[in-house]
Amino acid sequence: MSNATLTLSPPESEVKPTTPLDGHDPTMLISMRNIWKTYQMGTESVHALHGVSFDIPRGEYIAIIGPSGSGKSTLMNLIGCLDTPTQGEYWLNGKNVSEMDDDELARIRNQEVGFVFQTFNLLARATALHNVELPLIYGGIGASQRHEMAKKALSAVELTDRMMHRPNELSGGQRQRVAIARALVNHPSILLADEPTGALDSHTSMEIMDLFERLHSEGNTIIVVTHEHDIAARAHRVVSIRDGLIEKDERIK
Amino acid sequence: MQRGGDDEGQPQRFSYARADLPARITSLSLFRLAAVWESFRVAIASLRANKLRTGLTLIGIIVGVTAVIAVVTIINGLNETVAQTFSSQGSTVFTISKSPQIITSREDFIKFNRRKDVTHEDAEAISRLCPACWRVGIAANAIETVKYANQKAENVRIRGVEPITMFDIDGVEIDTGRIWTESESDSGREICVIGPDMLKNLFSDAPADQAIGKDIRIDGRPYQVLGVLEPLGSIFGFSRDNVVYIPYSTYQRVYGARRSLVVFIQVPAAEQLEAAQDQVRTIMRNRRGRALDDPNDEGFALETQDVFLNLYSSATSNIYYVTLGVASVSLLVGGIVVMNIMLVSVTERTKEIGIRKAIGARRKDILSQFLIEAVVVTALGGAIGVGTGFGLAYLISALIGFPLLISVMSAVLGVGISSFVGIISGLWPAWRAAKLDPIEALRAE
C-alpha cells in the first residue's frame, strides 16, 4: 500500500473514465464537476465519492443505481443539498451550492428540491394537507395561497378525498403519494426520490412508478435513486455508481 | 373519461410553469409569522399528546408562581388593612407605659416588671410640664364578659379613659348618643360608650338609638349606655369594635388603682413629635431617677405606633424573603425539569426535525419551534400558578378577614417570569435540535 487511506476504488483500468469536463455547463439544470466526498473515520479518510462529474438537463428522468456502499446515498445527499462536497463544484439551477452554509442549503432544499423517501417521512400527527403545506410554511407563503397550492398538489396525486386524513389512516401507496405531493408543492427544480418503492408491494410500486412517468411527461425533472434494476429501467437514463465513481452512464429511452 | 370543463377528480398537471407561482413573502416578519404559528401549533399538539408528562413538568413552575402570587396578594391585603388601622391614630400620638408593648425576652419581662407603675400623677406632671404636648390622656384596659338581658359578649375590651379627649386621641367617633360630661366622669358613675360590636352581640343588631339609656352588665355591675361608636373594622381577624369605654375614675374604683396605666400624648402635627418626646422623656426621667435599681434603665417605655409598624414590616419582609426563596428554588427546579423534558422531546423527535430540515426548515425555524414549546409549557404553568395563587389568597383572606387585592401586575409578572424560565431552560435543547445534521436526523427512528 502506497498510503494509509482506505479506499474502495478498484484499479484504475477497470473503471470507465468519466467524461473530462472543464467548468460547469450553464445550460444544464444540474452540473457536477469532480465531486469528492471524504469522511474522516478516526485517523483514516474514507472516500465515498472520488471525482464524480455529470450533467442533468431540465426535464430528464434519470435513475441512479448502485449496490449498497457504492456511494449512491452520498451522491443523493449531495444532489439533494443535504450535504456539501469535500471538493468539487455542484451547480443547481444556475447556483453554485457546493459552498453554501446550512441556512442557504435549507433555502435551496425548500425551493429547488422535492424529496421522496423510502419510508415516506410524513409527520404522523399532521393531516395529509398539513404535511403538503409544510414546505410552503418554511417557504413563507401566505395561508390562503398555501391551502390552494397544497390542494392542487394533492389533486395532482389523486388524493383530494384524503386531504384530512392522517398518515396512519392511509395505505402505503397513499402515504407515498402524499409525500410526492409534498415534494411537488413548491414547484421544485428536481424531484429526488430515494428508493421510492422500497416499502411498497409490487402492485403499489407500479402505481407509484406510473405516477412518476406521468409527472415526467408533464415536464418535471425526476431523479430516482435505487438498487432495483426494474425500477431503474423505468427511467430514460441510468447512471450506475460503483465504488464512488460513475461506472456507466447510458440513455435507455 | 368525458367531462365538461369541470376537471375535479382529474389529476392536475404539475410542471415547471413557475411563472404562475405566487409571489413569495420576502418580508422577514411575515415570513417568520407563518413559521412561528406552525411552531405554536406543533407545541400545543405535542403538549396535548403527552398530557401526563406536561402536567408533571408543570408542577415546579406552578408551585413557584402560586407561592409568589398568594404571598404578594395576601401581604398587599394586609398592608391595606394596616395602613387603614394605623392612620386612624396617626403618627402624632405616643405613649408612656411601664413596659413596652412587645417584650422579646424573659430577662426583659422581669426587668420591666420591677419598674414603678405609671400613675395618674405621672400623667398630670406631663400635662403640666410639657409645653409641646397638645392632648394628654390616660387609659387602662381590662378584658371582661358583658351581658344585656339574656345575651352576652365575651372577651370585651373595657377601656377606662380620662379625659374625654382620649376618644380623639384613640381616633374613635360617636355615631349615636353622646360621650359623658366631665362632671359625670368625675363622679365615678357607671356609664359607658359602646363599640358597634356590642350592638350586634347584645342588642341583636338593633338600631343604635335603641341601646341608648339601657343598662348593660360588666362583671355583674350595671352601666348605662350613653353612646355608640362608629365602626373601625377589624385587623388580622380581631375586631376593633369589640370595646366598651368607661370613665377612668369608674375603672379605678372597680378595678383598683394598682394597675399600671398608659399615658397617651398627642401633638398637633408630626413635626412636633420629637420635641414633645424629648420633653416628656426629661419629665419622666426626673420622676423616675431616684427610684431606680438599675442605673441603665430609664424606668419607663416611650413608644409610638411605629413599634407596630416596624414589627409588622419586619415580619412581612421576612415572609417576602422566605417566599422568594421557595419560589426561586421551585422555579429553578421547574426550569431544570422543563430542560430535561425538552431534551427528551428533542431526542424523541429527531426524525421529525430531520424531515423538517429536509424540506427547508432553517436552524432558526427549529430553534424557535422548541423555544416556543418550552415557553408555552412554562407560560401555561405560570397561568395556572397565578390562578391557584389568587385562589389560595382568597381562601386565606376569607379566613382571616382582610381585603383581597388582586393585582394585574402580579399576574403579568407570574406568567412573565415563568415564560422567562421557559426561554432559559428551552435554549439549550432547542439549540441542540437546531444544529442537528439533517442526514443523521433522518436516519433516526
Q: Which of B285, B304, B323 is the last residue of a domain?
A: B304
Q: Are residues B410 and B347 in the same domain?
A: yes
More confident residue, A59 or B98: A59
Q: Going by C-beta distance under 8 Å and a sequence separation of 6 or more, which residues neighbour residue B282?
A: none
Residues B119 and B208 in one domain: yes
Q: For residues B277 and B189, state if they share a domain.
A: yes
Q: What is the pLDDT of residues B154-178, one digit of tens each?
A: 888 889 888 888 888 888 888 888 8
Is residue B197 located within the same domain as residue B229? Answer: yes
| Closest Cβ opposite residue A138 in set B12, B17, B365 | B365
Residue B27 pLDDT grade (very low, low, confident, very high; cuts 50, 70, 90): very low
Is residue B198 domain-shared with residue B237, that is, in the same domain? yes
- For chain A, which residues make up each domain, given as ranges? 58-83+101-251
Q: Is B3 inside any structural domain?
A: no
Which chain A residue's Cα is nearest to B39?
A: A137
Q: What is the pLDDT of residues B179-228, one digit of tens each?
A: 888 888 888 788 899 888 888 888 887 887 888 888 888 888 888 888 88
Q: What's the whole-number average pLDDT of chain A? A: 88
Q: Answer yes or no: do A141 and B22 touch at CB < 8 A.
A: yes
Distance between CA atoms of A7 and A148, rounded to whole angstroms? 50
All residues of chain A having their beta carbon less than 8 Å from the beta carbon of residue B35 are 137-138, 140
- Tell whether the model's pLDDT for residue B1 goes beyond 50: no
Which of B249, B280, B304 is at the close of a domain? B304
For A137-184, write each residue's pLDDT tens digit: 988 888 889 999 999 999 999 999 999 999 999 999 999 999 999 999
Chain A, nearest residue to B21 by Cα: A187
Which one-letter DSSP state was computed for residue B17?
-
Given an 8 Å threshold on Cβ–Cβ distance, is A140 in contact with B49?
Answer: no
Name the B residues in 276-305 with CB < 8 Å from any A CB.
Answer: none
Integer-rounded Cα radius of gyration of chain A: 19
Which tens digit of pLDDT belongs to each residue from B290-309? 555 566 677 788 888 766 67
**Residue B373 touches partner A, C-beta closer than 8 Å:** no
- pLDDT score of B19: 44
Cβ pair A218:B358 closer than 8 A:
no
Q: Does residue B199 share a domain with residue B111?
A: yes
Q: Are B287 and B345 in a shared domain?
A: no
Query: What average pLDDT score do residues B77-106 get?
Result: 75
- Picking from A103, A123, A186, the nearest residue to B352 by CB comes out as A123
Residue B6 pLDDT level (bands cut at 50, 70, 90): very low
User: Which range of residues forms the domain containing residue B198?
Assistant: 91-304
In a domain, B427, yes or no: yes
Q: Are residues B252 and B134 in the same domain?
A: yes
Rounded Cα distance between A10 and A8, Å, is: 7
Per mean pLDDT, which range of A202-216, B142-156, B213-227, B279-293 is the poorest?
Answer: B279-293
Angle, CA B197 vertex, CA B196 and CA B199 arms, to 5°: 70
B109 in a domain, yes or no?
Answer: yes
In a domain, residue B419? The reply is yes
> What per-residue confidence (pLDDT) applies to B379?
92
The SS3 call for residue B356 is: helix
Separation in Å, CA of B337 to nearest CA in chain A: 25
The verdict on B443 touching A (C-beta cutoff 8 Å) is: no
CB contact under 8 A, A138 and B12: no
Asked if B413 and B368 sit in the same domain, the reply is yes
pLDDT of residue B21: 52
User: Given a cut of 90, is residue A121 above it in pLDDT?
Assistant: yes
Tell me how far apart the alpha carbons of residues B325 and B303 are, in angstroms, rounded to a whole number. Answer: 34
What pLDDT sits at residue A1? 40
CB-nearest partner of A106 from B22, B25, B360: B360
Q: Do B25 and A140 touch (CB under 8 A)?
A: yes
Domain-located, residue B15: no
Q: Say how far apart CA A243 and CA A69 lie, in whole Å.
A: 7
Same domain membership, residue B373 and residue B283: no
B370 and B266 part of one domain: no
Q: What pLDDT score does B257 carry?
A: 65
* Pairwise CB contact (< 8 Å): A123 & B363: no
ipTM here: 0.89
- For the segment A35-59, what is each residue's pLDDT rounded down to a tens digit? 999 998 888 988 999 899 999 999 9
Cα of B382 to nearest chain A Cα, Å: 27
* Prediction pTM value: 0.70
Which fold is adopted by the domain A58-83+101-251?
A: Rossmann fold (3.40.50)
CA B193 from chain centre, in angstroms, equals 33
List, as one string, the DSSP characters of A47-107.
EEEEEEEEEE-TT-EEEEE--TTSSHHHHHHHHTTSS--SEEEEEETTEE-TT--HHHHHH
Q: Which residue of B has its CA nearest to A191?
A: B15
- How many structural domains are present in chain B? 2
Would you place residue A13 in the very low, low, confident or very high pLDDT band (cuts 50, 70, 90)? very low
